[in-house]
Amino acid sequence: MTPAWKRRLVFTRMGRWYTALTIAIGLAATNTGNNLLYLVLGLLLASIVVSGVLSEQSLKGVRVERRLPAVANAGQPALIGLLARNGKRRAPSFSLEVREARGDVDGRGFLVLLPAWQAAEVAYRFVPLRRGVHRFEQIEVATRAPFGLFEKSRPLDAPAELVVFPRQVPPPPAASRALAREGERPQDRIGLGLEAHSLRDHRPGEDWRSIHWRSSARAGRLIAIDREQERRKRVCVLLDQRALAGEALERAVEVAAALVTRELDSGAEVALAVAGGFLPAASGEAQRHAALRMLALLQSGGSAPPQADPEASLLEVRA
Amino acid sequence: MSWAFARGWTLLQAQRWTGTLTATFAFAACAVSGELGPALIGLFPLAVLGSAFFAERVPRRLDLAWTVLLVAVLVVLAGQVVAGQLDIVLAAARFAELLCIHRLWHRHTERDELILLLLSLLMLCAGAALTAELSFAFAFFGFAISGTWAVALTHLRFAIEAGRGPAGSAALLRSRRVATPALLGALGGLAVLGLAGAALVFFVFPRVTIGGLRRASRPSPVAGLGDRVDLSRHGVVADDPRVALRVRLDPPPAGEPRNLAMHWRARSLSRWTGHGWAAQEGGLVQATRLPRRPGSDRGSDLLSAGIEVVGTFADGVVFTPEGWPLSVDFRRPGFSRDPVERLYRNAAGDLFYQPVSGNDLTYRVAVDRGAPDVRSMRGRGRNYPVWLKADLEVPLNLDPRVRALAERLGGGKDPADAAAAIEVWLSTALRYTRELPGEVEDPIADFLFARRAGHCELFSSAMVLMMRSLGIPARNVTGYFGGRGTDAGYYAVRAGDAHSWVEVYFPEAGFVLFDPTPPSARGSVQESAWARLLLAWDALQQRWRAVIVDYDLIAQAQAMRRVGQLLSETGRRLAGKGGSAGRLRAIAQGALLALMAVALVLAVRRIRGRERIGRPAQLSGDQRRALRLWRAAKARLREAGIDPQPGATPRELLRTAPAAREVIEVYSRIRWGGGALSAGQVRALLRQLDSRLHERVAPPGAP
């Protein structure tokens, strides 16, 4: 854990020149005994002290929270928010730079003024270049106020992780062999599907819309129709990554993600089978998130071959 | 400009103008030295004004021309320095000014702005090396304020540009709600803080001077009292309010009057030229010891005068107050001896110093003020030594009326009575006027018998000639009369106080002062606003010099000693008993206790605040055990070849390591949901995990 008192101080370009000139003027004053040079030296040294005190005052009491996006895809910009709060009751903070430090992500935002006891949010664009886990370690609050001579920064521990989903690519065209088993599938029991399951006598009080009028006319009494229960289209995206690595693995993961997205968008239940892992078939946003997260974290190798869902149409990703 | 004032400043305008103002103050710090030269002094204001209106229109292709010009100037200045024609500090100041002008016309990037400010700082330093005048203090003060504005606004401007990008920052930079009077006021407050810190550093920074590259003093033209008086000048004697001498008397004059009635003798002029006086010819000899007053015991009425001759009026003559000079000391206070014998005298006994540098000079003169009166001068006879021949010479063409007048006033009298009679007659019978007679054939006769009015030189000249016509040695003396008290503790003798009087020789007594000028007309009457302003400026300048310019190791040691004495005195009073000391001690103890209590409260609040900010929520004992369980479980999983994916949550780990289900569930429940977990439970869970992992690795039936 980083202690609250820890600070990092670096010279700016102006600060380097300023310090060099201060030393030179100090030497000149000592050498010549010229009191006016001592006066100039005093002003320069006092400015350094004032700068240090004010920059500390600016950093003091500032806390920052990171706001990560719900979804981030490789290759697409994502906005990461940094919410800064000034915990001082009276003193505002000036010229604050809030930035990521020591993590996988580099981003920063700038606040001209953070009034006392108030909060302000800045955001930076982050374009992840790869899928997978991106770690955040610290947030640094830095200021060069008031004179830009030095940059004083204060590290704040803010560990977090952002799982970046695979890059979005267009899915491959559907193969004719795979299409043979696609479509809504009856389950041979009464349900709310479209296909007819059986006919029976209409029961009093039953919804009149269940009456099968043609059969009723033929039988001379009211006949009701029961529909079959239909199951959604079930697809299993299968990716065997055991022999894949590097770019081939990335391309395969991207294609698998594209297939998962396409099938979920079309309303299907999608299962995902990879070497060493299996995601049971389901639909909806939660399933999309789970499948893409699984693909985002997928590594090369694995011992067991992927086990496909026998009930589902198989969409196998080939490298 | 007025339009901008009315509507307020944008951040861009404020940043640029404060940068320009800073450079201007730095230039002023150099310019007050008067050494930059009229061309460069005139060039800078023109360049500033021009840059405000035309800098944006200068095409970039002229940059090369600027560079060539600057290189050429650099070569010329370097050549002059190498050839010994130009001081290196002055050359640096001139070149820095040109670089500053160049940068004022080329302000496009952050680098340009920062270079402008650094060059301004260099110019300020050059000004510090070139001058020690009070004017520098004002330039320095202005630089401190405007420099603080400029540096802070420059930082703000470019921080906004870097943080928000050109498009995002444009609106803010052109907003008039950033560089508000409140912001500028706050930055001004910072500058005042900086000045206070500068004062602190200035007074405590050890004054250990190496002195290796100390700049040589600047010689200046001499404009003091000359060795010749011309009585045939035209016009009116003008009052000159410039301060020529600064005098501190020890002991101070009784009652410490605002106006001092004191003659400050410069030199005697014995040779009549027909239209005035000239000094005797002859060289100077070193005066290791001054002659004693004849027939007088030393030390009857001693006066010590610390005299500071302003550089412009320092022409090598030693000024002495009324009385017989006993010693002249050129040593600085605290220095045991002067390395060089500087005192000289001529045949007439006038005192001089060498070398003449043209800078301000301070020395201390001790005189015996026990001046003999007329009564004691009587009866000393007319047995004059030979070396007084020059002081007895009467012009051959002296108007007989002058001699007749002298005879009428002092003929047949004792020389002392004759001198007194002539002095009284001149000062009462004739009128003082500042109007000069112009070219007349005999200025003395014209003064005595035609105009019957004149200035001090005519009064003294007439008396000298009249005394000589009676066979009494006398000479004309020049110097100053008067002295105006100042708030800075010294008497200022101004150039307009120049005066002329008479010295008459008496055997066994030497030369004795007589002043025939009416007392009310001696010196000058300078009460105009301008004269008072100059006097106040001079007093302020003396304080500046005393406190700042002349602050050295000795002054620092004295200041520290005073602080030590103050602390010691305070401690002594606190340690004392009874009376006010007891009350003071009680108050101090109370204040100390209150301070300690406040410090304690602040420290506790600070520590608690740090805990709140810096530390995560404290874990309970059960949570800490859950954390240890989780870490131990992950280590065992790794040993078993199940490497948890980086960043995998416990629930995600459950998919690849179902053997750790119980551990994960317990960890999640205790760590985040609360509950109890004993150390025994932890051990049991880990043993269970070990056995499951063993079953997973070992095939059934294996030993």
Listed by start position, the domains of chain A span 1-164, 186-231, 234-317
Does residue B160 sit within a domain?
yes
The beta-carbon neighbor of A146 closest among B128, B155, B215 is B155
HEC readout, B65-126: HHHHHHHHHHHHHHHHHHCCCCCHHHHHHHHHHHHHHHHHCCCCCHHHHHHHHHHHHHHHHH
CATH 2.60.40.10 fits A1-164, yes or no: yes
B9-21 pLDDT per residue, tens: 899 999 999 999 9
Judging contacts by C-beta atoms under 8 Å, the chain A residues touching residue B210 are 30-31
Among B114, B210, B548, beta carbon nearest to A31:
B210
Residue B416 confidence (pLDDT)? 92
Residue B77 lies in a domain: yes
> Maximum Cα–Cα distance for chain A, whole Å?
126
**How close is the nearest chain A Cα to the Cα of B551, in Å?**
7
Contact B195 A46 (CB under 8 A): yes
Split at pLDDT 50, 70, 90, the class of B223 is very low
User: Number of residue pairs across A and B with CB atoms under 8 Å?
Assistant: 170
Q: How far is CA B673 from the centre of its chain?
A: 72
Does residue B332 form part of some domain? yes
Name the minimum distance, in Å, from the CA of B359 to any CA of chain A.
16
Specify the pLDDT at position A213. Answer: 93
- E-strand spans in B338-464? 343-345, 351-353, 361-368, 431-432, 453-454
Q: Contacts of residue A241 in chain B, CB cutoff 8 Å? A: none
In a domain, B702, yes or no: no
Q: What percent of chain A has pLDDT over 70?
A: 95
* pLDDT, greater one: B294 or B285: B285
Contact B163 A109 (CB under 8 A): yes
Whether B702 shows a pLDDT value over 50: the answer reads no
- Tell me, yes or no, if A41 comes closer than 8 A to chain B by beta carbon: yes
pLDDT, tens digit, for every residue of B67-118?
Answer: 899 999 999 999 999 998 888 888 999 999 999 999 998 888 899 999 999 9
Contact A21 B118 (CB under 8 A): yes
CATH of domain A234-317: 3.40.50.410
Among A27, A37, A147, A154, most B C-beta atoms within 10 A, so best to mutate, is A147
Q: Is the pLDDT of residue A32 over 90?
A: no
Residue of A nearest to B609 (CA): A61
pLDDT at B551 over 70: yes
pTM, two decimals, is 0.63
Which of A113-117, A291-295, B204-208, B554-558 tops mean pLDDT?
A291-295
B139 with B244, same domain: the answer is no
B433-437, B574-578, B617-621: lowest mean pLDDT where?
B574-578
- Counting other chains too, the contacts that A247-253 makes at CB distance below 8 Å and 24 or more residues apart are A248/A319, A249/A298, A249/A300, A249/A319, A250/A131, A250/A166, A250/A167, A251/A319, A252/A317, A252/A318, A252/A319, A253/A131, A253/A166, A253/A295, A253/A298
How much is the pLDDT for A132? 93
Task: Choose one of B588, B614, B640: the last residue of a domain.
Answer: B614
What is the tens place of the pLDDT at every residue in B231-267?
776 656 556 777 888 899 988 888 878 888 899 999 9
pLDDT band at B700 (very low <50, low <70, confident <90, very high): very low
Q: What is the pLDDT of residue B335?
A: 56
B227 or A149: whose pLDDT is higher? A149
Chain B residue with CA closest to A17: the answer is B118
The mean pLDDT value for B391-401 works out to 90
Coil vs helix vs strand at B536: helix
- Give Cα separations from B269 to B225, B460, B464, B595 (angstroms): 11, 11, 10, 72
Assign A156 a pLDDT band (cuts: 50, 70, 90): very high
Residue span of the structural domain in which B377 resides: 228-541
Phi-psi region of B657 (alpha: psi -120 to 50; beta: other; left: phi over 0): beta
pLDDT at residue B644 above 70?
no
In whole angstroms, give the CA distance from residue B647 to residue A244.
22
pLDDT at B222: 35
Residues of B in contact with A63 (CB under 8 A): 613
Give me the mean pLDDT over the B277-300 stretch: 75
Element (H, E) at A142: strand A132-143
Q: What is the spatial distance between Cα B382 and Cα B507, in angstroms, rounded to a whole number?
A: 7
Residue, of B56 and B143, whose pLDDT is higher: B143
pLDDT in tens, B442-478: 889 999 999 899 888 899 999 999 999 999 999 999 9
Q: How far is CA A38 from CA A27, B4, B69, in A?
A: 10, 38, 34
Across the range B298-308, mean pLDDT stands at 80
Instruction: Please give the structure tokens belonging to residue B662.
Output: 């119980």
Q: What is the pLDDT of residue B694?
A: 79
- Residue B22 shares a structural domain with residue B37: yes
Region A175-191: what's the mean pLDDT?
Answer: 59
Residue B437, domain member (yes or no): yes
The backbone torsions φ and ψ at residue A246, rounded to the nearest 5 degrees and listed phi first, read 60, -135
Task: Give dist(CA B272, CA A84) in Å, integer.
Answer: 92
Tell me the per-residue pLDDT of B475-507, one tens digit each, with 9 for 90 and over: 999 999 988 888 888 898 888 888 899 999 998
Q: Which residues of A touch B656 (CB under 8 A)?
A: 276-277
Q: Which residues 201-230 of A are in CB contact (within 8 Å) with B?
A: none
Comparison of pLDDT for A212 and B539, the residue scoring more: A212
Q: Assign A16 a pLDDT band (cuts: 50, 70, 90).
A: very high
Q: What is the mean pLDDT of residues A12-30?
A: 91
Q: Report the pLDDT value the prediction gives residue A67, as an integer from 0 to 100.
A: 92
Task: Please report, for chain B, how many H helices and E strands are present, in that order.
Answer: 20, 19
Closest by CA to A287, choosing from A221, A232, A247, A242, is A232
pLDDT number for residue A209: 87
Interfacial A residues in 165-204 facing B (CB < 8 Å) = none
Secondary structure of A153-201 in HEC code, one letter for each residue: EEEEEEEEEEEEECCCCCCCCCCHHHHCCCCCEEEEEEEEEEEEEEEEE
Q: Which among B160, B212, B652 is the nearest to A112, CB-wise?
A: B160
Touching check for A61 and chain B: CB below 8 Å?
A: yes
Mean pLDDT of chain B: 83
Q: Could you read off the pLDDT of B601-633 as tens digits, one per residue?
A: 988 877 766 555 444 456 778 888 888 888 888
What residues of chain A, 74 to 113, have a C-beta less than 8 Å from chain B? 87, 95, 97, 108-110, 112
Please list every residue in chain B whose beta carbon sits closer than 8 Å to the beta carbon of residue A147.
Answer: 148, 151-152, 155
Picking from B497, B518, B541, the residue at the C-terminal end of a domain is B541
ipTM of the complex: 0.74
- Range with the lowest mean pLDDT among A176-190, A206-220, B168-182, B351-365? A176-190
| Closest partner CB to A46 (pick from B152, B154, B197) | B197
Chosen from B155, B160, B653 to mutate, greatest number of chain A CBs within 10 A: B155
Contact A37 B148 (CB under 8 A): no
pLDDT for B42 equals 93
User: Residue B518 above 80 pLDDT?
Assistant: yes
Whether B656 contacts B637, CB under 8 Å: no
Averaged pLDDT for residues B520-526:
70
Confidence at residue B217, expressed as pLDDT on a 0 to 100 scale:
43
Say whether B229 sits in a helix, a strand or coil: strand
Q: Are B446 and B241 in contact (CB under 8 A)?
A: no
Q: Sort out which chain B residues have CB atoms less than 8 A from A161's CB and list them.
A: 647
Is A70 part of the contact surface with chain B (CB cutoff 8 Å)?
Answer: no
Answer whether residue B216 shows pLDDT above 70.
no
pLDDT above 60 (res B212):
no
Highest mean pLDDT range out of B296-300, B516-520, B535-539, B643-647? B516-520
A contact test, residue of B11, B32, B145, B156 with most A CBs within 10 A: B156
Q: What's the pLDDT score for residue B475?
A: 94
Q: What percent of chain B has pLDDT over 90?
A: 30
CA angle at B509 for the pair B506 and B512, rounded to the nearest 5°: 65
d(CA B398, CA B420): 22
pLDDT at position A270: 93
Please tell me which of the candidates B127, B205, B647 has its beta carbon nearest to residue A133.
B647
Minimal CA separation from A268 to chain B, in Å: 24
Residue B213's alpha-carbon distances to A31, B10, B80, B339, in angstroms, are: 6, 45, 19, 20
Question: How does pLDDT run across B106-163, given as a tens digit for each residue?
Answer: 888 899 999 999 999 999 999 998 888 889 999 999 999 999 999 999 999 998 888 7
B353 and B448 inside one domain: yes
Cβ contact B159–A148 (<8 Å): yes
Q: Is A28 on the interface with B (CB under 8 A)?
A: yes
Looking at the structure, tell me whether residues B468 and B353 fall in a common domain: yes
Q: Do B337 and B485 share a domain, yes or no?
A: yes
Beta-carbon separation of A32 and B214 below 8 A: yes
pLDDT surpassing 80 at residue B31: yes
Q: How many domains does chain B have?
A: 4
Which pLDDT score is estimated for B436?
A: 74
Shortest Cα distance from B516 to chain A (angstroms)? Answer: 47
Average pLDDT, stretch A190-196? 77
How many other β-carbons are positioned within 10 Å of the β-carbon of residue B80?
Answer: 16
Judge whether residue A194 has pLDDT over 50: yes
**What are the distances in angstroms from CA A213 to CA A63, A199, A201?**
72, 11, 12
Whether residue B338 has pLDDT greater than 60: no
Please name the member of A135, A148, A297 whose beta carbon is closest to the beta carbon of B151.
A148
The confidence score (pLDDT) of residue B523 equals: 66
**Identity of the residue in B127, B613, B646 whose CB atom sits nearest the CB atom of A133:** B646
Do B26 and B123 contact (CB within 8 A), yes or no? yes
